Each structure stands twice: as C-alpha cells, then as structure tokens.
Amino acid sequence: MSSTALAAAPRQDWFREKILLGMDLRTYLRSLATPLNALATLLIGLGVTVLVYRFAAGLGASTNLSQAQPWGLWIGFDMMSGIVLAAGGFTIGSAVHLFGMHEYHPIARPAILTAFLGYVLAVVGLMADLGKPWNFYNMMVTPGSASALFEVAGCVLMYTSVLLLEFLVPVFEWLGWRKAHERLEKAMLALTVLSVVFSTMHQSALGSLFLIAPAKLHPLWYSPYIFIFFFISAICAGIAMVVVEGTLTHRIFRHRITGKHADMDKLQIGLGKAGAIGLFAYFFLKMQGVAEGEHWDLLFTGWGAWFLLETVGFVLLPSLLYGYGARYKKVKFVRVAAVITVIGIVLNRLNVSVIAYNWDKPNHYVPSWMEVSVSIGLVTAGVVAFRWIANRMPIMSEDPSFASSEF
Amino acid sequence: MENEFLNIYAAKLVEYGLAIVYMVIFVGFWRWVQGEPAPGRASDTKPAGRAS
C-alpha cells in the first residue's frame, strides 16, 4: 500500500466520524431523506432563489418598499427581531462568567450558538436590504461617528466577531485542538466583557435610530426613552429565548448530553424570576414613555388598543405568569410566559419599524411574498444550522476530555 | 436660564408619580416572586431522584 493511501484512511475515518455521524456516505444521505428535511430544503431553496433575484433585479422588483417606506420586513423582522432574540448570548454569558451564576453554565453554549447564528442571519437579512455587500468596508474607512447607524453597524460587526470566538471553544473541542482551546479559554473573560459592552451599545442604538423619526413613528411608540426600552426589552427577550430554546434543545438533543444532566426545571424557574422582574420594569418604563409625551388620550383610539395589547398582553401578562411560575415552582407557566414574551418582543420591533411607522400615510406597507419567503428561508437556515452543529459538536455539554473547560 | 430639570409641570409630576408607584409595587412584586408559597401547594418540579 502506498503512503498516500495510508494517510487518506485516517482522513476518511475522521470525516465519517465527525461529519457523517459514523455512517457511510450512502447511509448518511439516505438518513437525510425525511419530510421535514424536504420542507426545509424547499424553504431555504426558495429564499436563496429570491435573494439571487433581489440582487439581480433590485429592491423595487422584489419588495414592496418605496422611497416613502424604505424599511420593511427585512429590517423589522430579520434585523430588529433577529438581533433582539439573539440577546440570550450576552444575557446568559454575563450571568455565568461575570456574575458567577455558574449553575446556568449548562445552558450557556446553546445560548451562544443561537446568538451567533441569529447575528449571522440578521446580517444576511441586512445585506439583502442594503445591497452591494462588497461595499461594507466603507463603514470602517469613513466612519460616521455621530450616527446611531454607525454605532449599530460597528457593534454588530464586532459582537458577531466576539460570538464567533466564543463559539470556537466547542469547535476546538470537536476538532481536538487543545492548544488553540487553551489559548481561547484564557481570553474568554475579556471576550465576555466585550460581548456585554457591544450588546449594550447596539441593542440600545437600534432604538436610537428612531430618535430621528418622531414625525413618522406613532406617538405611543415614539419616546425619547426608546433606546432604554430597546435595551431592557433585549434583556427580557434574551431570558425568554434561553427558556424557549433550552426547552426545545434539551428534548431534541438529550442524547448529546454527556455527564450529569442539568435540572432544567430549576434553571428555568430561576430564569422565570429574572424574566418577571425585567418585564415588570419594562412595563412601567413603557408607561413612562406615554406619560412623558402626555399621550394618555391616544390609549382610547384603535392604535391605543393595539399598544395596550402589546404592553399588557405581551409584557405585563407574561411578567405575572413568570412570577406565578417562579413562586409556585410551576415551570409550565414560565415556559408559556417565555413564548408570550418572545412573540411580544417581535411584535414590538415590528410595531416600531413597520406597523406603527408611517402610520398616518394613506398607503401602508405590506411585505411582498418574496420578502416573506427570504425571512422564512433565513429562519429555516438558522434551525438547520443549529441542528447540524448541535448533532456534531459539544454544544449541549462539554467534551469530557476537556474537563477543565469553564466556557 | 432656569434648569429644565427643576421645572414642575404636569407630565413631570405624572412621571415622578409613576416612578414612585412603580417602586412601591415593585417591592411587593419582588417579595411575592421570591417568597415561598403556603405549604401544601403543588408544584410542577419533580423531586430529585435518588442516585442509583
């Protein structure tokens, strides 16, 4: 046997073990033929096709955006909602590594992976909206340092890089690269501090973007405190996403947990306490926004009913449900509250950037089917990527051979 | 020029009033969330099993 053939054999074993989950190529491909995979392929394929069409034909041909309504679903859902739902990474990361709440360590890695994928997909959505992605470097060459948009762009760029580095810890464990893993572990505390700084800056700066549009945004949603609303709601969304995602992944990827299983019910009840307090504060802050603008009369209009549905139905109600679940140790209440919170925060971002934006214009924006298909395709791609990674890499728990890993 | 922060007008009064109401209710809410329920109330969490 030649030396080339001898070298190729371990490489094949590695590929089979790490990528094909121990199966041969044919068996692996056969295992992929499931109805859910077919649906995912269809949705991602449609999204990619529309994206190609968008770059070939332009925004006018593929979206319902106009000069009067330059922001649509890709900003309101992919960017605004994608970023806020990815806040679980810095929320849990700071709780575990900065505040020493090590009991939440088992849910830190899935939260960081969700955050990383969320940011990557949000950036893809943003690129679809902006166009000419090859020009992105201009932001760094000619920084508009007085612009909230520059702060968002800079922080998202840097935070995505930090998340990539944090995600590399399980990647190095998967690859068995001990030296690189060791070096990265030494930098992790600094990376966690950076992640909190960048997240705080851009989660609030996304709200600051609307400070220049007081005449366009409905007065019930516009407030000079809007950047504080965005930051506090990001923390609430982060907690809720960790509960929702933890519930799902703990069931689906149970077989991937090595060593001692964490008591998810207990962890989620602890998160429920934090969620209750966070949402309670957020509700009163929203009321401060109404008080500051003296808009109490607007609460008795149609828009007021919509605003109350968001603030009472999707902020105060889940806060009370979280509180009830935490007090009486009823984890189902915490999970229901988390789902309502996630829906509520997405609704808030859509209200601010799409629904209540240009609210008084005669022709209101409705997204085209192509915009919707790109958004659905991106979400599906995120789910598929999470599953692919979690099935291979030590995301649900650390690799036992890297026992000293603290991150 | 008078400092705007020291001006008292209706909206500011409502804002400060709301903040005080919030703090009062928050203390009660915090104690309710943190507190232990009365004995005998069932919970969802499973008791920790004995290690085999």
Q: What percent of chain A has pLDDT over 90?
A: 60
Q: Is B19 on the interface with A (CB under 8 A)?
A: yes
pTM score, two decimals?
Answer: 0.88
Separation of alpha carbons A274 and A103, rounded Å: 15
Query: Does A57 map to a domain?
Result: no
Q: Is B16 on the interface with A (CB under 8 A)?
A: no
- Test mutation, A273, A330, A333, A334, chain B, max B CBs within 10 A: A330
> Which amino acid is residue A373, in one-letter code?
S
Contact B45 A329 (CB under 8 A): yes
CA Rg, chain B, in Å? 22
Separation of alpha carbons A350 and A208, rounded Å: 16
pLDDT digits (tens, 9 = 90+) for A130-169: 888 888 888 888 878 788 888 888 888 999 999 999 999 9
The pLDDT value recorded for residue A400 is: 77
Distances (CA, A) of A166 to A134, A364, A386: 26, 42, 15
Query: Does A59 map to a domain?
Result: no
- Total domains in the fold of chain A: 1
Query: Does A6 map to a domain?
Result: no
Query: Does A126 map to a domain?
Result: yes
pLDDT digits (tens, 9 = 90+) for A344-396: 999 999 999 999 998 988 888 899 999 999 999 999 999 999 999 999 999 98
Contact in structure between A338 and A240 (CB atoms under 8 Å):
yes
Query: Does A43 map to a domain?
Result: no
- Test mutation, B26, B36, B44, chain A, max A CBs within 10 A: B44
Residues A397, A338, A117, A47: what is their CA dihedral angle, to the nearest 10 degrees? 130
Is residue B50's pLDDT more than 50? Answer: no
pLDDT digits (tens, 9 = 90+) for A393-406: 999 888 777 765 55
The pLDDT value recorded for residue A136 is: 83
Q: Hey, is B33 helix, strand or coil?
A: helix
Size of chain B, expressed as the number of residues it contains: 52
Query: Does A354 map to a domain?
Result: yes
pLDDT digits (tens, 9 = 90+) for A174-191: 998 999 999 988 888 899
**A293 contact residues in B (CB cutoff 8 A):** 11
**B13 contact residues in A (CB cutoff 8 A):** none
The pLDDT value recorded for residue A151 is: 86
The pLDDT value recorded for residue B51 is: 42
Q: Which DSSP state fits A27?
A: H
Measure the N-to-C terminal CA separation of chain A; round to a whole number of Å.
Answer: 44
Query: Does A360 map to a domain?
Result: yes
In this complex, the residue of B14, B32, B46 whose CB is nearest that of residue A323 is: B32
Helix axes A108-130, A148-175, angle to 10 degrees: 130
- Its domain, for residue A106, covers 71-397
The pLDDT value recorded for residue B2 is: 56
Contact A288 B18 (CB under 8 A): yes
Is residue B40's pLDDT more than 90? Answer: no
Query: Does A24 map to a domain?
Result: no
Contact in structure between A174 and A395 (CB atoms under 8 Å):
no
* CATH code of the domain covering residue A276: 1.20.1630.10
Separation of alpha carbons A323 and A270, rounded Å: 10
Please indicate whether residue A173 or residue B43 has the higher confidence score (pLDDT).
A173
What is the interface pTM, i.e. ipTM, of the complex?
0.75
Contact in structure between A72 and A63 (CB atoms under 8 Å):
yes
In this complex, the residue of A277, A328, A332 whose CB is nearest that of residue B37 is: A328
The pLDDT value recorded for residue A147 is: 84
Separation of alpha carbons A216 and A157, rounded Å: 28
pLDDT digits (tens, 9 = 90+) for A42-84: 999 999 999 999 999 999 999 999 888 888 999 999 999 999 9
The pLDDT value recorded for residue A6 is: 57
In this complex, the residue of B11, B35, B44 whose CB is nearest that of residue A330 is: B44
For the record, the structure tokens of A156 come out as 């998202």
The arithmetic mean of pLDDT across residues A204-232, rounded, is 93
H/E/C letters for each residue in A259-326? Answer: CCCCCHHHHHHHHHHHHHHHHHHHHHHHHHHHHHHCCHHHHHCHHHHHHHHHHHHHHHHHHHHHHHHH
Separation of alpha carbons A167 and A293, rounded Å: 43
Q: How far is B15 from chain A (nearest CA, A)?
A: 6
